[in-house]
Amino acid sequence: MRTWKEFLREANYIDGQWVAARSGETVAITNPSTGEKLGTVPHSGTAEARQAIEAASKCFESWGKTTAQERSKLIRALADAALANRDALAELLTREQGKPLAEARGEITIAAGYLHWFAEEATRVYGDIIPSPWPGRRLLVTKEPVGVVGAITPWNFPSSMLARKFGPALAAGCTVVAKPAPQTPYSALAWAVLAEEVGFPAGVINIVTGDAQQIGGELTSSPLVSKITFTGSTPVGKLLMKQAADTVKKVSLELGGNAPFLVFDDADIDSAVEGAIAAKFRNAGQTCVCTNRFYVQAGVYDHFVEKFSAAVAALKVGSPLEAGVVQGPLVDDRAVQKVEELVADAKANGGNVTVGGYRHDLGLSYFQPTVIVDANHSMRMSKEEIFGPVAAIYSFEREDEAIRIVNDTPFGLAAYFYSQDLGRVMRVSERLKYGIVAINEGIVTTEFAPFGGVKESGIGSEGSKYGIQDYLNLKYICLGGLSDAPASVGAAR
């Protein structure tokens, strides 16, 4: 059984080599649950990014021509290797990110799930033959890999967000240069350890750590990169989209949300409370689909608040490596400061804290699971992503009013609602302007279904049969000069 330390690499992975930054500079990585230094990674910049892009571009010439079966086999081997080392990879993830070990194991499982899914999809990239409007011609549509993909990923799911990009990119025949988040580089580098072991050719997967602006600048401006895929905040997504415009790259963006969670009078309240805990407190509230606003209909408001507050008060906070702990620290102190600011602002604007509200006694970046009732729209947290373990509860009277309010946001990633009325279930799900609608469920992410937002929450979908399309270019081939009349026997001689 391998340990997490065996997967910890303190170097970039470029063209099949483990390399330092040219300057020799490094940055320290800290375990948020202990404050201890885990190790360092290279502080790379433009030069290393360029080197990785050149390697990926050169490799694309051969990798792009491999058969789908060859790629499928390697991607499957990568997924199997991740599962075989799930405990070690999960512990590495928990140590750099802070989520409870059980959640980290779940993340490795779904990361492998994405890879398995796209290993299958690699072999199903079909084209078309279009009925020709002209005699003597045949119209074909083929699909080709876009080329080199630049992937920039966040710290909240440092393993699965990258697998969700590696899977379709590699399946399509693309090569990748990835830049992980500065807080959590080791889970990304662990993919390179596994890729090397299962036999991916040098240059297919490259990982560069360091200066986000320099590496991002090179990825978005290089003519050798054909596509940018990014998961992170909306402001950075917009910036990357602007930077990528000059070379007209394809762009896939999975950005911030402001997820509402509606509880109607006819909901099963016990089930709504269970779903609410999952949709809010998973990963200490640090996911882009985490509920940001609870809207509870007046008739069940008190009942829901009472049961939900009791469930939140019972959540066990502690070291994420300890069994039974459901909430570890937030990723860093900046994250806690933001949560503190938002709670102070909510209190100043009429919110009442029924559970938590403060930093946790454990210190560092631990924060108490918190419930704020009597929430209203003058609070900053009604518009900004909390990204922490704070649940704000608003009340509403009518369905129409609730739909109008929850749609009144520039974001449109995930929305949740609880109702037992079939008519309402269909009506509300159709009226919600969100890319993902969860009904009577608190967690719906799976590699089998498309994940993506509308409005300022993003462009494109990850996972499912749709996920590979953004990594492919359509090519129309018009095959002309064909004689549709059979050659006569005489002419043939």
Nearer to ligand ADP, 215 or 428 (CB): 215
Helix (H, G, I), strand (E, B) or coil at 80: helix
Nearer to ligand ADP, 167 or 180 (CB): 180
Indicate if 174 belongs to the active site.
no
CA distance 447 to 64: 24
- Beta strands at 370-373 and 352-355: parallel, antiparallel or unpaired: antiparallel
Residues in the chain: 493
Q: For residue 176, with 0-12 CB atoms within 10 Å meaning exposed, 13-18 middle and 19 or more buried, which class applies?
A: buried
DSSP string of 165-209? HHHHHHHHT-EEEEE--TT-HHHHHHHHHHHHHHTPPTTSEEE--
Q: Which of 8, 411, 55, 377 is nearest to 237 (CA)?
A: 411
Chain CA centroid to CA 18, Å: 26
CA distance 179 to 185: 8
Instruction: Tell me the C-alpha to C-alpha distance, in Å, between residue 47 and each of 156, 213, 217, 269.
Output: 27, 13, 11, 56
Nearer to ligand ADP, 215 or 371 (CB): 215
Residue 466: CB minimum distance to ligand ADP, A? 23
Task: Figure out which of the listed residues 150, 154, 257, 412 binds ligand ADP, where binding follows CB under 6 A.
Answer: 154
Residues in contact with ligand ADP, counted by CB under 6 A, come to a total of 14
* Closest residue to ligand ADP: CB criterion: 216
Nearer to ligand ADP, 161 or 300 (CB): 161
Residue of 121, 254, 456, 462 with catalytic role: 254
Residue 380: CB minimum distance to ligand ADP, A? 16
Residue in this structure with the two tokens 């021509």, named with its chain if needed? 65
Region 163-202 residues binding ligand ADP, contact defined as CB under 6 A: 179, 181-182
Indicate if 107 belongs to the active site.
no
Instruction: Tell me the C-alpha to C-alpha distance, in Å, between residue 317 and each of 104, 123, 308, 326.
Output: 16, 45, 17, 6
CA distance 33 to 115: 29
Residue 382: DSSP 8-state = G
Does the footprint of ligand ADP cover residue 443 (CB under 6 A)? Answer: no
Show the site string, 107-146: x = touches ligand ADP by CB under 6 A, - = not. ----------------------------------------
Region 319-348 residues binding ligand ADP, contact defined as CB under 6 A: none
Residue of 96, 121, 218, 288 with catalytic role: 288
Nearer to ligand ADP, 308 or 387 (CB): 387
Nearer to ligand ADP, 91 or 385 (CB): 385
CA distance 58 to 247: 19
Task: Figure out which of the listed residues 216, 389, 412, 452 binds ligand ADP, where binding follows CB under 6 A.
Answer: 216
Region 219-248 residues binding ligand ADP, contact defined as CB under 6 A: 232-233, 236, 239-240
Nearer to ligand ADP, 40 or 271 (CB): 40
Residue 240 identity (one-letter amino acid): L
Residues annotated as catalytic are 254, 288
Q: What are the residues binding ligand ADP (CB under 6 A)?
A: 152-154, 179, 181-182, 212-213, 216, 232-233, 236, 239-240
